[in-house]
Structure 1
Amino acid sequence: MTEVPGAWCPLALPHAEVSGNRVLCRGETVEESGHAPGSVARLLARCDGSRPLDGFTAAERSLLGTWQRDGLVVMAPGGPPDRAAPDAPVVVSPHPDDAALALGGLLARRGGRVLDVFSVETWTKDPYYAGRPDLTSRLLLAEEAVAARVLGTEVELLGFVDAADRALRAERFFAGTALSDTFPDEEPGLFAELTTRLAGLLEGAAEICAPLGVGGHVDHLACREAVIALLARGDITGARVVFYEDQPYSVFGSAEEVARGLAARLASLGLGALRPELCPMDATAALAKREALRAYRIQVRQGVVRRIARHGERLAEHSGHPAAERIWPLVS
């Protein structure tokens, strides 16, 4: 089990199914074991995040290594996750997966609360899941629960409908520019409800992390604009507000350019300036982020996950850390 401490625990992914001595994913056989029928199902059932690798036999660990490689299990730190400390960040995550993609290392180090805003979604490019929207919707949330267990975070689902499933946005859920601030006028009812919900959920937060909006996905822009509106109205006070670079969009676009444009706008509103800041990951946090991102199989290609990892490694060059993530705190 490469790189994974023996105290870490295997955790089965929700996509895995067992039929006899076969393990299936997306209805297809991923692994056919020589074990007796029933033994494979029992082994997978034991992968519930409560049993350390050291408690499995050598033969079982070998099979678990195969399952980890094939996307059937991930590894989670041992023991139950700690509840968020009072000063832990609250991450406004446009969708399930966005917080882990952008700030998985920070969450692994500090804990935190994740608010999944547009958590009702069925979008996928995978033909198997595209033809099964109810299954897809359920499994996307199950993936998020697995990632949260790995990172030790709390997740709250706000239940707003993803842009790809809203009639107005189904065919155009990317704005013309990542700096677009037109969402409040285009979907005013939705925006009013979103800001009201976030105002209550962010009250008393010591640190609030909001998306920068790299890539221009309208749901990311809606979350950013809601936080800005709350700042402008004075509903968020006494909190450290930071903007994070959206992933994987930052791999393909310029977070620096978006940050410069947003900084100018925030300054014009009298809300302060933005300054880039690196959040370094130690080896344990980097491993936790890697394992958490392995959970996302329906919308996130693992090749993209590897590119995000390389991006984090480049950010950390000359820092003495294996990887880093980047935020832009709002400073007065």
Structure 2
Amino acid sequence: MASLIVSPHLDDAILSLGGYLQSNNDENNTIITLFNTAWTAIDENMDYASITSINLKEELTVVKKIGCKHIFLGYDEALLRGYKQWNEAYSSSNDQKVFNNIVNEIKSVLNNNKYSEIFFPMAIGEHVDHVMVYEVVKLLLDFCAEKDIQILFYEDLPYASYGGASERIQKVAKDFDIIPHSFEITEYFEEKCNYLKIYRSQLMLQDIDRIKRYVKHMDGDNIVNERVWRVNGWHKRG
């Protein structure tokens, strides 16, 4: 059965799980992207609507090549919701309306389609939008359990390549009972990197090079994996 990938922005799913989507090769796999884009690598003077339009075209080009589905919700990203920096601390009170809308949107997609798995970002790097999506999981645990949908966290790239992955994994392990797992994507990795080059408005070549070095350092030169963590249950630490 197909998988649903929850992607904060218009590149996160492919950055982190592009190889999995290629190897899984199910036309009903779906990326649901939540936020628009206010930053670009190509022209700092562009307005956010133009940036988002370009990035969406890039994303849809990649999605078509991989052969999966795509849903774009287009909520305002952090820099358009009053945050001054992308890694500012998440404010649940300021973002409550958007948070609730996202929970309901994901429930609606799950109600209207058949998925065996749903993937969320682990929020390595502490991007405020990624942290919000991480918090969404806590309100979807019972819902997904009733529908027999496995919840997994994926490793946020390229953020993990800048450090902090081990610390974030420890934090997630305090909130959730997680089991590490890997998808070997060795034969798909170069093609994935070529797909990442399509995101010219969002990714610099240095980012792709960092990802290459990171994954090869993680697993050795001959094997490439995309790391995920399966949620076995949930417990809240006081």
- In which range does the TM-score fall when normalised by the shorter chain? 0.7 to 0.9
Please state whether the residue corresponding to 1:277 is helix, strand or coil. Answer: strand
Partners of 1:310 and 1:151 lie apart in 2 by: 24
Please state whether the residue corresponding to 2:74 is helix, strand or coil. Answer: coil
Q: Amino acid of the residue matched to residue 88 of structure 1? A: A
Correspondent of 1:186 among 67, 89, 94: 94
Q: In the alignment, which residue of structure 2 is the partner of 1:219?
A: 129
Structure with higher Rg: it is 1
Q: In the alignment, which residue of structure 2 is the partner of 1:94?
A: 8
Shift of 1:125: 4.3
Partners of 2:91 and 2:143 lie apart in 1 by: 20
Q: Amino acid of the residue matched to residue 105 of structure 1? A: G
Partners of 2:186 and 2:171 lie apart in 1 by: 31
Please state whether the residue corresponding to 2:115 is helix, strand or coil. Answer: coil
- The structure with the largest helix share of the pair is 2
| Matching of residues 208-247 of structure 1 within 5 Å | 208-231=118-141, 234-237=142-145, 238-247=148-157
Partners of 1:217 and 1:96 lie apart in 2 by: 14
* 2:164 is equivalent to residue 254 of structure 1: yes
Partners of 1:279 and 1:99 lie apart in 2 by: 14
* 2:223 is equivalent to residue 315 of structure 1: no
Q: Indicate the percent of aligned positions where both proteins have the same amino acid.
A: 27
Q: Amino acid of the residue matched to residue 186 of structure 1? A: N
Deviation digits for residues 259-310 of structure 1, max 9, x if unmatched? 11111122xxxxxx11221211132x11321121011111211111111122
TM-score normalised to structure 2 length:
0.88
- Structure 2, unmatched stretches of 5+, are 234-238
Q: In the alignment, which residue of structure 2 is the partner of 1:279?
A: 183
Q: In the alignment, which residue of structure 1 is the partner of 2:231?
A: 330
Deviation digits for residues 108-164 of structure 1, max 9, x if unmatched? 11132100011x2231243xx222224322111011011212322211101211112
Please state whether the residue corresponding to 1:300 is helix, strand or coil. Answer: coil
Q: Amino acid of the residue matched to residue 117 of structure 1? A: L
Q: In the alignment, which residue of structure 1 is the partner of 2:46?
A: 132
Please state whether the residue corresponding to 1:124 is helix, strand or coil. Answer: coil
Partners of 1:314 and 1:173 lie apart in 2 by: 27
Shift of 1:315: 2.9
Q: In the alignment, which residue of structure 2 is the partner of 1:202?
A: 110
Partners of 1:122 and 1:172 lie apart in 2 by: 12
Q: In the alignment, which residue of structure 2 is the partner of 1:59?
A: none
Q: Amino acid of the residue matched to residue 274 of structure 1? A: I
TM-score normalised to structure 1 length:
0.64
Q: How many residue pairs were aligned?
A: 225
Q: In the alignment, which residue of structure 2 is the partner of 1:106?
A: 20
Partners of 1:105 and 1:294 lie apart in 2 by: 14
Contact in 1 for aligned 2:5/2:32 (Cα 8 Å): yes
User: Does 1 or 2 have the higher relative contact order (CA < 8 Å, sep 6+)?
Assistant: 2
Contact in 1 for aligned 2:5/2:120 (Cα 8 Å): yes
Partners of 1:264 and 1:101 lie apart in 2 by: 26
Q: In the alignment, which residue of structure 1 is the partner of 2:206?
A: 303
Partners of 1:150 and 1:312 lie apart in 2 by: 23
Partners of 2:143 and 2:134 lie apart in 1 by: 15
